[in-house]
Chain A
Amino acid sequence: MKTIRENSFSTTGKIGKSLLLLLPMTFLILLFTAGPTPSFNSKVSLVAFLITFIFFNVLFFMILYKGKVDRYRATGFIVLALFFALTFIVDLIGMRGTMTFSHETMLSCEIPFCHIVTTMVILPLIFTGSIIFPGSIIGGFASIASMLVIVIGVMLALGRGFCSWGCFYGGWDDGTSRILRKPVIKKINPAFRWASFAVLIIVAITSALVLEPTYCDWLCPFKTVTEFEKVTSFTVLLKTITFVSLFAALVIVLPLLTKKRIQCTTLCPMGALCSLSNKINVFEVRIDKGKCTECMLCTKVCPTMSLEKQDVEKGKPSITCMKCGKCIDSCSKSAINYHIKGTPVGKRVTLARMLFLYPAFTLLVVFTAGNMQQGIVLLVKLFTTGSLL
């Protein structure tokens, strides 16, 4: 009996069908890689474009042809994290000469608006009718208005899928969680998947009370690979020790030992907010109870502990599911699939899968393409001149 993935509608193992369904994505990859009016000012930038273009086409083709999502998604996702950090740091050093920001940067309101700040501006926005962030409302890199448009759109379209397909930080702990073949720490209390909600409550309230984004100020581990305040006092030193320690523990060490995305699961308040948007998002992961044998392999592989025994029995992961596809790929009975709410479970699986993969992969391309091209140009510069600047 054919499994769902081998049915007449699926693309698994079928080159022709895979290439056909790749075509619309090729157009989107071209649009977001080259831009509406492509211009390449050097051979290196042309080569960078070609590498990026081919890279994404190959990734999407492999998702279709192999019928596996997670490993190819993760490849692009990790590339996003690495190249984003590289290009961001190089741009900063080129502009300011340092990764640190000073009073000058804050007073000139030029700090790029990161998506995580969204969680901290909501309450002050309601009570004061203004934004508590030293950024630019419009214009410049990552202005407040442009980032809010993206955050709202992505949350509506993909829910917490943002955390697996678009977040330019998630690739760090996604990557470190894949280094070891087997976890060293095998048992983690699944209660920790709710910890980020506590962080969301605390940072939302404290930010509103002190009128400062407290998560950014004190906790965000990714300041280690982007920008951070210059150490000029004991308090700032304490903040620096805190975020560097959190990066080491939650982004490097614990994901390595547990093979779970610990930072994203336990700390990120944006992840908690996106989880709430999963409630209204049309896409979800569902388990076809008719096919499921309750082997519980999916509960072991889920990087965010969103699938526990009771979730398998209910037929769907908790709202913390990031739609990464790891459980789908691991299921030998093809019982787990992407699903569209309001439609029968286990029917038209390929259609639901494609309707999810197109926007999700597009998001990955949009965030990665520019950074990847710029990153390749920088790396070529490094190898040829010995300098990134």
Chain B
Amino acid sequence: MGQGFILGLSTGAVCVVYCGPVLIPYLMSESGGLKKSYLLIAIFLAGRLAAYLLTALLAGLIGQAFIQQTETRSTLMGMAYMLLAALMVVYGLYRFKEICLGKTAKSISASDTTKNRFLIPLTGGFLTGINICPPFLLAITGAIDSGTIMGSMLFFLAFFAGTSVFFLPMPIAGMFKRQHILRIIGKFAAMLAGFLYFYKGLLLLIR
């Protein structure tokens, strides 16, 4: 679980910056004070959590059904970790075009949204949760490695907790000014997390 949390935390800042453009315009358009903003954030995060738990379920099933049974499990997982860790390091150094489905929610929020105020942040959260970036792929690998559905769920729960930390201050205006610094720190942290996972993969391969 700790590893999931680190992974989430190391990439949370980057997640905020990429998912922020979905959430922030919606928050700003919906006036109603800090309490309402946090309610909307909570709904957004609930959508993200639902996406993560669904992914965790699939990863757990794969881990339980296939990976744990193979004799070459250590080799497979080791190689997966090392490859994705290398991608994480590259992700930390360069811009990455991610497949972020949440961006489609941005266009939805621009249109008539008054009918169901909670559907937009919920859908936006769910779609931003399925964000094919190296940290997300590493999280899937980690979840598969746990070998059980429960283990996978717990791993993604910790990953969610790590990413969510950076969403909490979002309604507070001051954070908007320092987005670019958070993004830089997040990318460096992602790079370092990549090295951690590279070492983990190396150990799995050599032992």
Contact = CB atoms under 8 A, between A and B. Distances in A.
Interface string B134-159: 00000000000000000000000000
Contact of A198 (B185, B196, B206): B185
B196 A201 contact: no
Given A209-B2, A209-B6, A202 B181 contact: no
A83 interface: no
B192 A191 contact: no
Given A198-B191, A198-B192, A199-B192, A205 B6 contact: yes
B184 interface: yes
A201 B181 contact: no
B5 interface: yes
A199 B10 CA distance: 10
A197 interface: yes
Contacts of B193: 202
Contacts, number: 41
B9 A198 contact: no
A198 B191 CA distance: 9
A206 interface: yes
A319 to B, nearest CB: 10
A199 B190 CA distance: 10
A234 to B, nearest CB: 8
B185 A202 contact: no
Interface string B171-191: 000000000010011111101
A201 B184 contact: no
Interface of A: 191, 194-195, 197-199, 201-202, 205-206, 209-210, 234, 238
Given A194-B181, A206-B6, 11 more contacts: A191-B184, A194-B188, A198-B10, A198-B191, A198-B192, A199-B192, A201-B185, A202-B10, A205-B9, A209-B2, A209-B3
Interface of B: 2-3, 5-6, 9-10, 181, 184-189, 191-193, 196, 199, 206
21 contacts: A194-B181, A194-B184, A194-B185, A197-B185, A198-B185, A198-B186, A198-B187, A198-B188, A198-B192, A201-B9, A201-B10, A201-B189, A202-B6, A202-B10, A202-B192, A202-B193, A202-B196, A205-B5, A206-B196, A209-B5, A210-B2
